[in-house]
Amino acid sequence: MSDTFNSGGRGMLLSLFASRLGTVRMPWFVLLLTGSALLACSDPGLASGTLTITCLNVGQGDATLIESPSGMTLLFDGGDNGKGNGIVLPYLQSQGITSLDYMVASHYHADHIGGLDEVYNGIPINEAVLDRGWSYGSSTITYNSYASTVASQRQTLTHGQVIDLGEGVTVTCIALNGNGEVPSPFTNSSYENEYDVCLLIQYGGFDFFAAGDLTGGGLSYGDIETGVAPLAGDLDIYRVNHHGSDSSSNAGFMQTVQAEVSIISVGATNSYGHPTQNVLDRLVYYGSFVYQTESGTGGTLPPEDLTVVGDHIVITTNGITEYTVDGDVWAIDEDSGTPVVEIRPRAFSLAGNHPNPFNPTTEIMFYSEQGGSGLLRIFDVSGKSILDRGFQAESGSNKLSWRGTDNRGRIVPGGVYLYSVSTPDGKGQGRMLLLK
């Protein structure tokens, strides 16, 4: 799980309590650091130097720049049309980057590949342009421009392929083209999000996952996330799939990856309601602090759980003891000689319901530190009470099932319903959509 702390120098013990920008936050962990962790740079087999990952603010789209301490670079997606010339290339120039070693496309939607042809035309690509192969089932001007522009250097990624960026930084394609969950040929435009390339970036004990618009079974999309989760493993940072859409970030995926930090690339005025409240609640429930490039048009969280940066989000790490996100310092929690003991951040938290929309059953998920007698209440949008049901909560994670029936066991019509969950240590509210 996660913690933030202020570093007092690599030769000193790090603070036992979480803080961010000098302001103490609720302590999530006690950190016990060994001298071997602090002196790990003396071992040439361990990470040395700084890996920098920049989640570029391209509005409603994705673009991620990876800079290895070796100086090698990889750009994963390039935002929508115009963002390559308008945002990506100027940023590269500002960083003194005059060429890229690799360019990778997650999938063929315009908000991910629209800027890649512009970047390709603007600076040299030293090695290759990599993508999922095949073609886009709905031929578009954006896809055709991308495919024709990069044709001479275009290569198809394979499952398990490792891109070595030097100095111990690797980028592994852990899944693509549906990860065996959808049939070939992979040219059905209805499955384009399911086809996403999934990249795991690793440096020492640091793990970062990005997969474009990968889907988790919500909104009638296929569930690819559940099969990918064990391939990703425990993560430090999760680049949130599909801009925080209800299509993605399902409970099983989040429970497996246990990301300390989640980063959402989203447009301030997007028309999709991204990121949704359900996804934000689920990210926090499973232990993530959330950073967003922009505010979005969906849900929100209190400041102790969310920072809206309003700009590019820059991540740096030494791969051994810590990483920074927008200047905030976090502990690497695995393979770094840093034992971590979890302390839950709050007594009660609601993680939304899954699936949503649903028919006929959904599960409402929450965490209660104390446990005890609780009450589930469900209302229609007019405020009329549909269901009042008592339950006994356990200390820890809990799930409540609802099959779309009222207090008398009668099936209710489809539509939007509101719910509240209360326990002795807290209360939360949410909304859900029953499809009929």
Tens of pLDDT along 261-311? 999 999 999 999 999 999 999 999 999 999 999 999 999 999 989 999 999
Domain parsing of the chain, residue ranges? 1-46+336-345, 47-319, 348-434
pLDDT at position 28: 32
Q: Which residue has the higher pLDDT, 205 or 99?
A: 99
What band does 47 get if pLDDT is binned at 50, 70 and 90?
low
pLDDT at position 358: 85
Q: Is the pLDDT of residue 133 over 70?
A: yes
What band does 14 get if pLDDT is binned at 50, 70 and 90?
very low
Q: Which residue has the higher pLDDT, 153 or 4?
A: 153
Domains 47-319 and 348-434 share a fold: no
Under a CB-based contact definition with an 8 Å cutoff, are residues 214 and 243 in contact? no
Q: Is the pLDDT of residue 344 over 50?
A: no
What band does 5 get if pLDDT is binned at 50, 70 and 90?
very low
What confidence tens digit (pLDDT) does each residue in 359-411 have?
A: 899 999 888 888 999 999 999 877 889 999 999 999 988 999 999 999 999 99
Nearest to 153 by CA among 123, 189, 193, 114: 123
CB atoms within 10 A of CB 97: 16
What is the percentage of the chain residues whose pLDDT exceeds 90? Answer: 72
Nearest to 227 by CA among 178, 276, 267: 178
What band does 225 get if pLDDT is binned at 50, 70 and 90?
very high
Q: How is the beta sheet containing 289-292 ordered, strand by strand?
A: 162-164, 169-175, 198-203, 206-210, 237-239, 261-264, 289-292, 306-308
C-alpha to C-alpha distance for 108 and 143, rounded to whole angstroms: 6
pLDDT at position 332: 87
Average pLDDT of the segment spanning 4-18: 29
CB atoms within 10 A of CB 237: 28
The CATH homologous superfamily for domain 47-319 is Ribonuclease Z/Hydroxyacylglutathione hydrolase-like (3.60.15.10)
What band does 416 get if pLDDT is binned at 50, 70 and 90?
confident
Mean pLDDT of the chain: 86
Q: Are strands 125-131 and 154-156 parallel, antiparallel or unpaired?
A: parallel
What is the CATH class of 348-434? mainly beta
Q: Is the pLDDT of residue 15 over 80?
A: no
pLDDT at position 367: 85
C-alpha to C-alpha distance for 383 and 308, rounded to whole angstroms: 32
182 burial (CB, 10 Å; 0-12 / 13-18 / 19+) is middle
